[in-house]
Structures are given as C-alpha cells and as structure tokens.
Structure 1
C-alpha cells in the first residue's frame, strides 16, 4: 500500500459551539500535540496546533452569535498532526477539499457537512472520478416536497393571464407589441419550469 506523504486542506470550514470548542481544546493536548490560543479582535481566535517536532497548523475561528466558524487551509506532513486535524475536521462536520498526497498521485476528497460527496484520483496524466455521492432517500424526499418551482409556475400563469387580459383590452399597436414580447418571454420561462 502506498504511503501517504501529506494531507492538504483547501478552503475547509467547520462550525462548533463555544462548548464544543472548549471540549476540543481540552482534548487537543496529547504527548505529541500541544496547542495555544491567540485571541484576535472582534471575538476572533486563532488556535495553533503544534507537533513536538515543530510543525504547526493554524485554525482561524470567527464568532457569529453562539457559533464559531472555523477556516483551515494548510498542508500537514507529521502523522500525529494529520490525525489531530483529521479528527477535528470529521468531528465538526467539515466542508471543503482534502487532498491525500502520495508519491505518484493525489486523492481529492470533497466533503460537505462531514460527508464525502466526491473522490477523484489525480495523476500527472489526468484526473479520474472514483466516487460521486448519490442522493439519499431523505434528500430525494426533500427535493420532491419542495414546492418552490410549483409556486413560481403558478405566479407565472397568473402573470400570463394578466398580460392576456391587457392585450385583449388594448387598442394601441405599441402596447400590444410590448405585451406580445412579454408573453413570449413568459412562455419560454413557463416551458423551462414545467420541464
């Protein structure tokens, strides 16, 4: 099996409550990893995870209400630090791209809310899709129950009826021409929505 050289987090985000952040800080220190917290202006914090050999990861947290929104973009080489960041990312349902870097290839994992949505294999010769998330039954039901398109169709039909009434009452060519143009646009939109 190929040995992983590094992990890279690209535009990764996660969110946690103040309690969860404090719990993480209590468990962050191990015999291999230590942490320090830098308090910045406007309630922002930066947590620095440091491996005994000196490698560091900087996590920025911005407080929004009672939630801390964390952001992370880094490349991690040390196995202990990789494990600590990986646990943090999974535990707090991270979103973003995680690259697992090997000697001859990179495996790109795209996460959304802590779940893998897509996996790609990147080699010098090109990229190959390995896995792509299919909708779960719950997601399909939510899409099925969503009625926003139906509401828009109903509003569009009412608009078309109003325009037809306006066209039938009008005697002026300019008004009829403008109404016909608006009716044509509405018909195209209605066709797209009903499709």
Structure 2
C-alpha cells in the first residue's frame, strides 16, 4: 500500500456552535497535539493546533450569530496532526477539497456537509474520476415526493384536451390553424415534461 506523504485542505469550511467549539477545545489536547487560541477582532478566533515536533495548523473561526464558521487551507505532514484535523473536519461536517498526497499520485476528495461527493485520482499524465456521488435514498425520496412536474403535466394534458375540443368545434380554417399552432406548442411542452 502506498505511503501517504501529506494531506492538503483547500478552501475547507466547517460550522459549529460555541458549545461544540468549546467541546473540541477540551478534547483537542492529546499527548501529541496541543492547541492555543488567539482572539482576533470582531469575535473572530484563530485556533492553532501544534504537534510536538513543531508543525502547526491554523484554523480561523468567524462568529455569525450563534455559529462559528471555520476556514482551513493548509498542508499537513505529521500523522498525528493529520488525524486530528481529519477528525475535526469529519465531525463538524466540513465542505471543501481534501488532497491525499502520495509519492506518485494525489487523491482529491471533494466533501460537502461531511459527505464525500467526488473522488479523483490525479497523476502527472492526467486526472481520472474514481467516484461521483449519486442521490442518496433520502434525496431520492424527497425528489419522488415532489409533484410539481406531475402537476404541470396534468395541466398541459387538460390544456391539450380543451384545445382538441375547441378544434372540433371550429369551422373556419384560420381558427383551426391557430388552434393547431397552440396544440403544437402544448404537445411539445408535454413531451419535454414527460421526458
């Protein structure tokens, strides 16, 4: 198995409440990792996670209402620090790109709300898509329950029926041509909706 050299977080964000932030700070210190908090202006904070060997990760948190929005862009090499940041990103449903860097390739993971949405393998010769998120069961059920398209289809069918009834009662060629044009537009729209 390939040895991971580093992990890189690109424009990563996560959200947490003040309670969750305090809980994280209580559990952040281990025998390998320590932290310090820098208070910046306007309620912003910067948390610095430091590994015993000296490698640091800086997390900026901006307070918006009762929520802290954290942003992270860094490259981490130390395995203990990699693990701490990975747990933080996963626990607080991070969004952004995480690159797992190996000697000959980079695996790019795109996360949204803590879930992997896409995985790509990047090599010097090009990029290959490994995984693309498909709809989850919950997402599919919510789409299935949406009936706006079905309602629009029903409206188009009623409109077509009215136009057909009108066409059957028309006696002038010009009125029939006008109804036929409206039927053409309505049937095309019905075809689009059903597709």
The TM tier, using the shorter chain, reads: 0.7 to 0.9
SS in 1 for 2:2: coil
TM-score, normalised by the number of residues in structure 2: 0.77
Say whether 1:140 aligns with 2:140: yes
TM-score, normalised by the number of residues in structure 1: 0.77
- Residue of structure 1 in register with 2:125 after alignment: 125
- Residue of structure 2 in register with 1:68 after alignment: 68
Distance between the aligned counterparts of 1:147 and 1:45, measured in 2?
45
- Residue of structure 2 in register with 1:99 after alignment: 99
Say whether 1:22 aligns with 2:22: yes
Distance between the aligned counterparts of 1:107 and 1:83, measured in 2?
17
- Residue of structure 2 in register with 1:109 after alignment: 109
SS in 2 for 1:5: strand
Structure 1 residue 69: deviation in Å? Answer: 0.9
Taking a change above 3 Å as real, the CA distance of residues 146 and 30 of structure 1, as seen in their structure-2 partners, is same
SS in 1 for 2:4: coil
Cα offsets for 1:109-165 (capped at 9, x unmatched): 1111111111111000111111112211110111222355568x59x98xx9xxxxx
Cα offsets for 1:24-74 (capped at 9, x unmatched): 001111111111111111111111111111111111111111111111111
Number of aligned residue pairs:
174
Alignment of 1:21-60 (within 5 A): 21-60=21-60
